[in-house]
Amino acid sequence: MEAPILPSLQDQLQPRLKLVRDELVPYAEAWSLQKSIVKERKALVQRNEDFSDSLIVLQHHPVYTLGTGSSEEYLHFDQKNAPFAVYRTERGGEVTYHGPGQIVMYPIMNLRYQKMDLHWYLRALEEVVIRALASSFSIKASRIDGLTGVWLGT
């Protein structure tokens, strides 16, 4: 019997892309996936093992999320009679809507291998998306001062 082929270290460190296509993913399911990947990564860090970064790309059913410090006053409806699901999450920021037609990307990575500045990281992500949209789809996208995200038609 042949010994199993072990992947090289380089293969193990390649970024993982979890892509869900042609279906809407409930926020709770995506959030659970994110938490399980983070838990796995933390265990590897505790054992001083390397791990690859991950990127989850998907679309959600209509949902509102609130960051840890966000205020419910930015919800323009009664949360008890919300038109869609509402989740308070561990992220920063205010109220965010996600829904069909909106591509959402959840990177899971160790910022210790990058600059450890979250705002730098967010601007870098935005720049990657802006350039990818321009080069791959001839779509002009931009930033809006004071807001996080990439915007079309501004």
Q: Residue 24's domain is classified under what CATH number?
A: 3.30.930.10
**pLDDT tens-digit series, residues 84-95:** 999 998 888 888
Contacts of 152 (CB under 8 A, 6+ apart): 139, 140, 141
Please check whether residues 47 and 60 belong to one and the same domain.
yes
Please check whether residues 39 and 99 belong to one and the same domain.
yes
Residue of 140 and 5 predicted with greater confidence: 140
Residue 18's pLDDT is 55
Please check whether residues 32 and 66 belong to one and the same domain.
yes
Contacts of 54 (CB under 8 A, 6+ apart): 15, 16, 17, 18, 37, 107, 108, 109
Residue of 141 and 137 predicted with greater confidence: 141
Please check whether residues 128 and 90 belong to one and the same domain.
no
φ, ψ for residue 141 (rounded to 5)? Answer: -125, 165
Please check whether residues 1 and 61 belong to one and the same domain.
yes
Closest by CA position to 63, among listed 19, 23, 22, 25: 25
State both tokens at 3.
């010994």
Please check whether residues 99 and 133 belong to one and the same domain.
no
pLDDT at 19 over 70: no
Assessment of whether the complete model's pTM goes beyond 0.85: no
pLDDT at 99 over 90: yes
Residue 4's pLDDT is 40
Closest by CA position to 18, among listed 59, 51, 52, 55: 55
Q: Among residues of the chain, what percentage have pLDDT more than 70?
A: 84
Please check whether residues 38 and 79 belong to one and the same domain.
yes
Question: In the chain, how many domains are there?
Answer: 2
Please check whether residues 33 and 67 belong to one and the same domain.
yes
Task: Residue 23: give the domain boundaries.
Answer: 1-110
**pLDDT tens-digit series, residues 101-122:** 888 888 888 777 777 778 888 8
